[in-house]
A and B are shown apart, each in its own frame.
Chain A
Amino acid sequence: MNVKTAAEPPEAPPERREPFMTLFGRYLIEANSVMVTIWSLLLAFAIGAVLLIVSDEGVRGTWSYFFDRPSDALSASWEVVSSAYFALFEGAVLNFNTLDRFAAGTAGFGDVLRPLSETLTYATPLIFTGLAVGLAFRAGLFNIGAQGQLIMGMLGALVIGFGISAPAIVHLPAAVIAGGLAGAAFGAVPGVLKATTGAHEVISSIMLNNIAALFLVWAIGTGFLHSETRSELVTKPVDDTAALPHLLGFLGGSLRVNLALVLGFAAALFVWWLLSKSTFGYRIRAVGFNSHASATAGMNIGRTYATTMGTAGAFAGLAGASLALGINAGGVTTNTALEYGFDGITVALLGRAKPGGIVAAAVLFGALKAGALSAQPGVPVDISILLQAIIVLFIAAPAMVKAILRLRTPRGGLVTLEAKGW
């Protein structure tokens, strides 16, 4: 993402060093990127709380006689909000029930770690899709197509996963790479279209998402992919030699977090290296910062678009591979991809398109997803999408956060996305 600072002339350096607490206090009331992130999270959870209260029938009832007995409405509202957020926390971080049972000796240590394992499990594809969106951001491209690229990666990994037989040392890497390549091929299409015809990547990649989703429906139904033992729409399982091994299997079978998480960290590290140390990354950043100047300097803009989208697609494809060979090794359904690709957009925005930020944002949103899924049916599952969207809405518009909370403009200006046209 193009970080543009609306620069103001730097003031003369102060003569006297101010005490730490003054500086820290000033930092807290500034709209710098750390504080904007914190306030975005708090505001999003506050808005989520209001929606939980408004949409709950029982609580709405108590508000109708608020002026007669305000304690009823307040306690009922507190009850519904705190129980929902508490359920999210228990599903994502630590379940106190399990902790009690562990203390009493009726549950293993693995059971205590289960929520954290789920969080990391859901964070894994988000790291990949976040990198897929974030890398494209740095070239000034908006890759909404991560969902479709993920689906293609999933199919690619799946085909190699059960189609060939080889020892694990060959089979697993081959299947992972196949997923990455399938995603890269699919991801390169919007880049090539933008380079050759000028078609905006947002529209073309959205269309490819729909096409990929429908292709998946058809592909699962074909005799080649469809499960031989089950009648519903599910594919064959991948061979054991191609399945990603569990990381914490020795602590209990329910800990689903697998090797893909390590691959995710490695991918983030690779993107960091790519962007800050390699020629290709320099070109990506140059084109993203100012494509006209880059063209004048002799860079091939079209080729950079195509290769960047291809690389981004490869990461989304790896997300698909991590699903098809990991938690869904038993068979892929039309529902396997969830909204990981779209969540990648929010992850990349919250992570400010930087690899470290993306990993942190992926873990946060993975926690939201794990919490929302485990809190069924008490809490609406879409609360995770809702909270994510509100958070990144504030992140994308720091000026709004600043205006709502009357924060001060930090020295050097607000960190914001560069606005540009079609």
Chain B
Amino acid sequence: MAVTATDVAARAEERGRDRHFIGGSVFAAIGVLLALAAFFALGADRTTTFRLDVTLTDARWTIPTRPAVIALAAVCAAAGLWLLGGIRQRLYKIASTCAVAAIVLALICWAVSQPGQSFRAESILAGSLFLSLPFIFGALAGVVCERSGVINIGIEGQFLMGAFAGVFVANLADNVYVGLLGAMLAGSLSTLLLALLATRFQVNQVVVGVILNLLALGFTGFMYDQLKTTPGANTAYGVPQNALGGLGLGFLSDIPLAGPILFDQNLFVYIGLAMVFVVWFLLFRTRWGLRTRSVGEHPAAADSMGVGVNRLRFWNVTAAGLVSGFGGAFFTIANSLAFNKNMTAGLGFVALAVMIVGRWNPIGVLAGALIFGFASQMAEDLDAAGNSIIPGPFLQMLPYAATLVVVAGLIGRAKAPAADGVPYNPGDE
């Protein structure tokens, strides 16, 4: 039977007006439940205050909480009904983003509605950017590795190595910048092992990645114990808080909202943001990037075009360790903390999830990292504020739970590079 052009168009139209039953009913149900909960559980006198707490300390906007939450819940429910009724494919993302944003905003309004609390917009957004850094560095390292076809599940271990070596080398050299260099080299040493095992010895990369995590955990813990008795081996080093101040640009931090968020951060933030664009440019605009991506998608084809598959993979993975090792220094040097056992607390794996959320693309990684940074910052803030309805441990679960939801919800649709995790052995083809 011949397929006519009109058939195709009709089918495309049919596909275009998909009904999203699950998503739609979930959003509608959440919207209705949220509105009902707000109506019955929220006192009518509750208000939510938004403040610019750093630059314009007097400015504040206060809204009554109950109507605000109910309005946002209505937005969410409306988006859900829209999805249920059928929607064009390209509007699907917009509708579901609106719904999720409405839920998050409603919950924030609710959470900071207690007397004496306010949403300190500048501190929270600046903190979110800062807390997204480990995810940015870790996920970028993951992107470089996986785009070349090597699964790097050992980001956690590279973080630990970087965190430890950063402080240790800074103490040895009495210079924090040398410490940063040490952190990068330590991370790279960890990925060097992964690269060697993945390209030369063709191992199961997931298993070896997990073992490398354990190795880093054991090694740093061991060294921490051994150096505990040595004075001045694990003293905290930090970098200046306002990196732009040193360049004579300190006045920029007085701009409301943008100032504290973008212009009053330390070195790590600027390097992190720069790395996102550098890695994006390298991957998608250079010859190296094209080769790397081809090696990750179809190594045999790349090989036939004269690309040394295993050599390129080896150097890419080793170089990615420089980035994740630098990310490890975030835990110690960026926070001006001394090293402590297992201080990365599983965030290396969250970075892996951020990489998946970002769909193996640096720009997507930035967006995902900011969302996770915001979740971490909100959890920290609500936890510190005490009198929260939700117990502290549950707030601390937020980034992990979000990762779980994201991985479960996205991984089926987000496509990994085709040859990710498959060793390339020219003789096999």
**Contact status of A422 and B403, CB under 8 A, knowing A210-B345, A215-B393, A397-B197:** no
A392 CA / B210 CA spacing, docked (Å): 11
Interface residue tally for chain A (C-beta within 8 Å): 54
Judged by DSSP, the binding face of A is helix
B222 touches A383 (CB 8 A): yes
Asked if A403 is at the interface (CB within 8 A of a chain B CB), the reply is yes
Instruction: Verify if A419 is at the interface (C-beta below 8 Å from B).
Output: yes
- A105 CB → nearest B CB, Å: 38
Please state if B408 and A422 are interface contacts (CB–CB under 8 Å).
no
Contact status B204-A420, CB under 8 Å: yes
Assess whether B219 is in contact with A218, with CB atoms less than 8 Å apart: no
A346 proximity list for chain B (CB < 8 A):
211, 214
**Taking the complex as formed, is B422 at the interface, i.e. its CB lies under 8 A from any CB of chain A?**
yes
Closest to A418 in B: B204
Taking a contact as CB atoms under 8 Å apart, the answer to whether B349 and A207 are in contact is yes
Identify the closest chain B residue to A395 (Cβ).
B211
- Per-position binary interface string of chain B over residues 390-429, scored 1 when its CB falls under 8 Å from any chain A CB and 0 otherwise: 0111101100110110011101100010011111000000
- Shortest CB–CB separation between residue B196 and chain A, in angstroms? 8
Query: With a CB–CB cut-off of 8 A, which chain B residues contact A34?
Result: none
Q: Is the CB of B412 within 8 A of A197?
A: yes
What is the bound-complex CA distance between A389 and B214, given in angstroms? 6
Q: Mark A328-355, 1 if CB is under 8 A from B, else 0.
A: 0000000000000010011001000000
Identify which of A207, A389, A420 contacts B218 (C-beta below 8 A).
A389
Q: Give the complex CA separation of A349 and B208 in angstroms.
A: 11
A393 cross-chain contacts in B, Cβ below 8 A? 208, 211-212, 215
Interface positions of A from 194 to 242, Cβ below 8 Å from B: 197-200, 202-204, 206-211, 214-215, 217-218, 221
Q: Are B225 and A419 in contact (CB under 8 A)?
A: no
B221 touches A385 (CB 8 A): yes
Q: Are A197 and B409 in contact (CB-based, < 8 A)? A: yes
With A386-B219, A389-B214 as given contacts, are A142 and B207 in contact (CB-CB < 8 Å)?
yes
> Would you call A421 and B419 a contact (CB within 8 A)?
yes
How distant is the Cα of A421 from the Cα of B417 in the complex, in angstroms? 10
**Smallest Cβ distance from A203 to chain B, in angstroms?**
5
Q: Classify chain B: how many residues form its interface, as a range.
A: 35 or more
Instruction: Specify which chain B residues have a CB less than 8 angstroms from the CB of A209 in the assembled complex.
Output: 346
Complex interface: chain A residues within 8 A of B201 (CB): 397, 399-400, 403
Using CB atoms, name the residue of chain B closest to A399: B201
Q: Which of A383, A390, A421 contacts B420 (CB 8 A)?
A: A421
A418 proximity list for chain B (CB < 8 A): 204
Is the C-beta of B140 less than 8 angstroms from some C-beta in chain A? no
A420 touches B422 (CB 8 A): yes
- Taking a contact as CB atoms under 8 Å apart, the answer to whether A203 and B403 are in contact is yes
Q: Which residues of B contact A400 (CB under 8 A)?
A: 196-197, 201
Asked if residues A214 and B422 are in contact (CB atoms below 8 Å), the reply is no
Q: How far is the CA of A420 from the CA of B401 in the complex (A)?
A: 27
Bitwise, B195-208 to A at CB < 8 A (1) or not (0) is 01100111111111
Judged by a CB distance under 8 angstroms, whether A106 is at the interface is: no
Contact B346 A422 (CB under 8 A): no
Whose C-beta in chain B lies nearest to the C-beta of A420?
B421
Minimum CB distance partner of A386 in chain B: B218
Give the contacting residue for B225; candidates A218, A345, A381; CB below 8 A: A381
Q: Assess whether A275 is interfacial by the CB under 8 Å rule.
A: no
Cα–Cα, bound, A202→B226 (Å): 32
A51-B396 Cα distance, complex, nearest whole Å = 36
Q: Tell me, rounded to whole Å, the shortest Cβ–Cβ distance linking A226 to chain B.
A: 13
Q: Would you call B221 and A380 a contact (CB within 8 A)? A: yes
B412 and A342 form a contact (CB under 8 A)? no
Of B204, B227, B346, the residue contacting A210 (CB under 8 A) is: B346
Q: What B residues does A218 contact at CB under 8 A?
A: 391-394
Whether, in the assembled complex, B387 has its beta carbon less than 8 Å from a beta carbon of chain A, the answer is: no
B304 within 8 A of A: no
The chain A residues found within 8 Å of chain B, CB to CB, are 51, 55-57, 142, 144, 193, 197-200, 202-204, 206-211, 214-215, 217-218, 221, 342, 345-346, 349, 380-390, 392-393, 396-397, 399-400, 403, 416-422
New A-B pairs, 10, CB < 8 Å, besides A200-B407, A217-B393, A342-B214? A199-B412, A207-B350, A221-B391, A386-B218, A387-B218, A388-B218, A392-B211, A399-B203, A400-B201, A421-B420
